[in-house]
Structure 1
Amino acid sequence: MKKTLLAVAVAATLPQLVYAQSSVTLAGVIDVGINDVTNAGGAHQYMMSSGVNNGSRVIFRGVEDLGGGLKSLFFLENGFNVNNGGLGQGGLLFGRQAYVGLASGQFGSITLGRQYDSVVDYVGQIAAADNWGGYISAHPGDLDNFNNSYRTNNSIKYTSPAFGGFTFGGVYSLGGVAGDVSRNQVWSLGAGYANGPLSLGVAMINARNPNLSFFGNNSQTTLTAATANGTVTPVYSGFMSARSYTSIGAAAAYTIGNGTAALTYSNVRFSNMGDTGSGPNPAHYTGTAMFNNAEVSFRYRPTPEWLLGAAYDFTDGNGAGGNEGARYHQGEMSAQYFLSKRTTLYVIGVYQHAAGVDSTGKRAVAAINLLTPSSSDSQTVLRVGFRHKF
């Protein structure tokens, strides 16, 4: 009798054993190379750096089939520095992304954690920096976050299934401030279309108290002002007293044969400046500072082993409080040779020229993204690198 009851109990669990299948995958990227910078604070600089073309990272991803088309999932993405083995993103263990959630092929997915916003998901992926140019090809200071320099903490994210090539989604980040629901909150919305040769994307992000909630969230503390992180750029560091940051972007790409042409546009606003509880305001700015950015790019695959890319980017800034704003012209070129599906040798060259008055109230200097700003109005970097994916 006992054996019969045991057999019935085991049999009752068999359906769960059939569909409760799970898998965990380890993957990653190692990217390292040499930069030759013509003017880094007034001096010629040779340096080895990690993660320029693609950020060096280790990824743990997992999925469990719960049955009925429903799955649970997790994603942990650690950024690191190949040069010294240190952690990236201000010392965070999983500073690139860290989230868990549920997904359904019919209804889409909901995930919670540290994640990319909708501008990154639907627009940034069409920009040159995300495709072949790396972070040194990002728009000045990555001011529109097309190159995902900044992640969103404490976020709830929805991603729809695809409907004939059309997808949409949104992100909401809780500020966590008692008595003030809006302080430090971040939200974004976006949509994309990809079908055949045509890709389109449109999105926006809004961050309240952005110096803390958005630009300053790459640290080991909950919220740290961006000015303490060592990654501030003169392109917009003077606008950190803004109560609100908004980036609206649109992009389109079309492929003909082995070539792909792309266009991106963004409008960025630092609004209601003067909130010293959000960040410093040494220039005593008020009102709104605005940037318009436009990029045109082209990539070409003459053979499966080669990828060639070229782009031009223009940023037009409109300062506040008597600041006339700065303008940045930037051009970039790249050549990549694929030794295999996983191993690539590449060269990237970027030139930037600045004019006008930057956010600090001084004569604008060239400031290629994440490099030491120039002491003059121009700067050039040549990068020779090696990338391996596993």
Structure 2
Amino acid sequence: MRKFTLAVSALAGITALPAHAQSSVTLYGLIDQGFNYTSNVQTGRSGGALVGKHQYAMSDGATGIGGSRWGLRGAEDIGGGYKAVFTLENGFNINTGGLAQGGLMFGRQAFVGMDTPLGLVTVGRQYTVVSDMLASFSEAGEVPGHMGANPDDFDDLGHSIRVNNTIKFRSADFAGVTVGGLYSLGGVAGSPGRNQVWSLAATYKAGAFGAGVGYVNARDPNLSFFGTNGNAGGSTVNNMGAAGSATTGQTNPVYAGFASASTYQILIAGAKYYFGALTLGGTYTHASFDGLGNTTAGPNPQRYTGTAVLNNGEVNATYAFTPAFLVNAAYSYTRKASVGSFGEASYQQGTLSAAYLLSKRTRLYALAIYQKASGTDSLGQPAVASITQLTASSTDHQLLVRLGIVHTF
């Protein structure tokens, strides 16, 4: 009899839960489809020299401004100002139906956590707090999205990177100040610092002005930071990019040669001001690949040692002619410093774009990005232009023109 009473009491407790705990699950997503003209993309090599041709192509969100996705977002109010939350977000290719992020089912984000009066705590696969909190100050937070990021998105303001095994905290807004932190456990037995990633960020917003600063530190970045997609390899594989072949183009030549770095550090500062219909923003990035030559982290065919440094400054402006029609422009300058045996390189990039909102959920857009490179890049070759998410040019310049549509649901 006592067992029966306990069972009835337990069942009553379960069925009573909805009376004091409200929950919701939301299906959401974004589809980005467009037509690209690219002045030059690498097609391989001939006689040892890079070969490239112009390209016309349909391109979906994998290389578009939004990143096509669908996701599930849930929340349960458990009382006292606390909510249990989760997000599962999938990236996909609309032209082929294939999975993005190297074939991962929920490659964009996958986390669970608790929303509290002090802030949000989550665990799982997530963006760093730096890309979360500072991207809005950069061109990647404007009309062009991550295609307008700095060359090869070396500072992750274009949200190219997701970090696995993370614990993340983002505070509530206290008098305009928000702080955040993330730590990723490397999970290597006997070596707790191996493959770890941590980042910190803080922003301040008051009226029309906003500013922020952030820092990322990734140990063995070829594995812990750039090697988190489903098709990533181990320390013998370059997860940061590729030198190409006779039939394939290079990827991320701005930094692909630095896969043997022991540590990758990023320091970013940004600000934005709203002058009515005009918005002005700017960012500064200092990034360093330290301890090069660590082949337990990644390959080093160039036999680099020491540190490679990238510095970038960017300014951007957006003007709203009407609430539905926006025009944007930006300029960025990136310099790879000469350290030890490294040659110097520089990348200048200009962006012009416009967006027209047909409704709250659908917009048309057009953008043009031009990049000019000079010097010697990370692969030890005359620097080639490499707009984020495109196949690198075989020359020192590259032009992209894109017409597209974004629909959210």
Q: TM-score, normalised by structure 2?
A: 0.90
Select which of 178, 191, 216 maps to 1:167: 178
1:85 maps to what in 2?
97
Q: What amino acid does structure 1 have at the position aligned with 2:55?
A: Q
- Within the alignment, does 1:153 sit opposite 2:154 as a pair? no
Alpha-carbon distance, 1:16 to partner: 4.2
Whether 1:70 and 2:89 are equivalent positions in the alignment is no
For 1:313-366, what per-residue CA distance to the aligned partner results, in whole angstroms no more than 9, with x for missing partners?
Answer: 000111443222210000001011111111111001000000010001111011
- Counterpart-to-counterpart distance in 2, 1:384 and 1:166: 38
Q: Secondary structure at the match of 1:302?
A: strand
- 8 Å CA contact 1:366–1:373 kept in 2: the answer is yes
Residues 13, 243 of structure 1: CA spacing in aligned structure 2 closer, same or farther, 3 A cutoff? Answer: closer
> Which residue of the partner structure matches residue 49 of structure 2?
none
Matched, 1:108 2:127: no
Query: Counterpart of 1:205 in structure 2: which amino acid?
Result: V
CA contact (8 A) 1:238 1:283 kept: yes
Structure 2 Cα separation of the partners of residues 76 and 120 of structure 1: 19
Return the letter of the residue paired with 1:84: T
CA distance, structure 2, for counterparts of residue 75 and residue 229 of structure 1: 29
Query: 2:205 & 2:58 partners in 1: Cα distance?
Result: 37
Between the aligned partners of 2:366 and 2:148, the Cα distance in structure 1 is: 12
Q: Which stretches of structure 1, 4 residues or longer, exceed 2 Å deviation after superposition?
A: 4-19, 220-232
Preserved contact between residue 358 and residue 364 of structure 2 (Cα < 8 Å)? yes
Return the offset for 1:109. Answer: 1.6
**2:58 aligned partner:** 48
Query: Quick check: 1:285–1:320 contact (8 Å CA) kept in 2?
Result: no
Partners of 2:182 and 2:167 lie apart in 1 by 6
Unaligned stretches of 5+ in structure 1? none
Who is 1:388 aligned against?
Answer: 407
1:372-387 matches, cutoff 5 A? 372-387=391-406
Query: Aligned residue for 1:202?
Result: 213
Kept in 1: contact 2:386–2:392 (CA 8 A): yes
Which amino acid is the alignment partner of residue 276 of structure 2? G
> What corresponds to 2:294 in structure 1?
275
- TM-superposed CA distance for 1:200, in Å, is 1.0
Structure 1 letter corresponding to 2:381:
K
The 2-side partners of 1:95 and 1:339 are apart by 30
Matches of 1:326 and 1:228, distance apart in 2: 18
Tell me which moved more, 127-136 or 73-82: 127-136
The corresponding residue for 1:36 is 37
**How many corresponding residue pairs?**
387
Supply the distance in 2 between the matched residues of 1:275 and 1:128 (Cα, whole angstroms): 34
Who is 2:23 aligned against? 22
1: CA distance, partners of 2:37 / 2:12: 67
- 1:263–1:371 distance in 2 versus 1, CA, 3 Å: same
Contact 1:213–1:223, Cα closer than 8 Å, also in 2: no
Query: Separation in 2 of the partners of 1:63 and 1:201?
Result: 28
Indicate how the Cα distance of structure 1 residues 208 and 12 shifts in structure 2: closer, same or farther if over 3 A, else same: closer
Q: Aligned partners of 2:375, 2:233: CA distance in 1, in Å?
A: 36
Q: Distance in 1 between matches of 2:348 and 2:7?
A: 75
Instruction: Report the Cα offset of residue 226 of structure 1.
Output: 4.2
| Cross-structure match for 1:233 | 252
Structure-1 separation of matches of 2:227 and 2:12:
54
Work out the CA distance in 2 between the residues paired with 1:236 and 1:5.
63
Between the aligned residues of both structures, percent identity stands at: 49
TM-score, normalised by the number of residues in structure 1 = 0.94
- Cα deviation digits, residues 212-244 of structure 1 (max 9, x gap): 111111125686744487684110011110000
State the SS of the aligned residue for 2:143.
helix
Q: Equivalents in 2 of 1:232, 1:375: separation in Å?
A: 11
Tell me whether 264-273 or 161-170 shows the greater mean CA deviation: 161-170
Q: Which residue of 1 aligns with 2:190?
A: 179
Asked whether the equivalents of residues 87 and 93 of structure 1 are also in contact (C-alpha less than 8 Å), the reply is yes
Judge conservation of contact 1:286–1:320 (CA < 8 Å) in 2. Answer: no
Is residue 88–residue 95 contact of structure 1 (8 Å, CA) maintained in 2? yes
Paired residue secondary structure (2:230): coil
Pair 1:261 & 2:273 matched: no
89, 99, 102: which one aligns with 2:111:
99
**Contact 2:366-2:403 within 8 A present in 1 as well:** yes
Give the CA deviation at 1:78: 0.5
> Deviations for 1:150-187, whole angstroms, at most 9, x for unmatched residues?
11100000111110121101000000111111110000
Q: CA RMSD in A?
A: 2.2
Worse overlay, 218-227 or 182-191:
218-227
SS at match of 1:59: strand
- Once residues 27 and 109 of structure 1 are traced to their aligned partners in structure 2, the CA distance between those partners, rounded to angstroms, is 20
In the alignment, is the contact (CA less than 8 A) between 2:241 and 2:252 conserved in 1? Answer: no
Alignment of 1:135-154 (within 5 A): 135-154=146-165
Q: Distance in 2 between matches of 1:370 and 1:218?
A: 15
Structure 1 contact 219–229 (Cα < 8 Å) conserved: no
Name the structure 1 match of 2:323: 304
Q: For residues 17 and 281 of structure 1, what CA distance do their matches in structure 2 show?
A: 58
Q: Which amino acid aligns with 1:178?
A: A
Paired residue type of 2:359:
S
Rounded Cα–Cα distance in structure 1 between residues aligned with 2:354 and 2:291: 43
Structure 2 gaps, min length 5: 43-51, 243-249
Deviation string, structure 1 residues 104-150 (Cα, Å, up to 9, x no partner): 1x221210000010210221121112221122211011000011101
Q: How far apart, CA to CA, are the structure 2 residues paired with 1:360 and 1:5?
A: 69
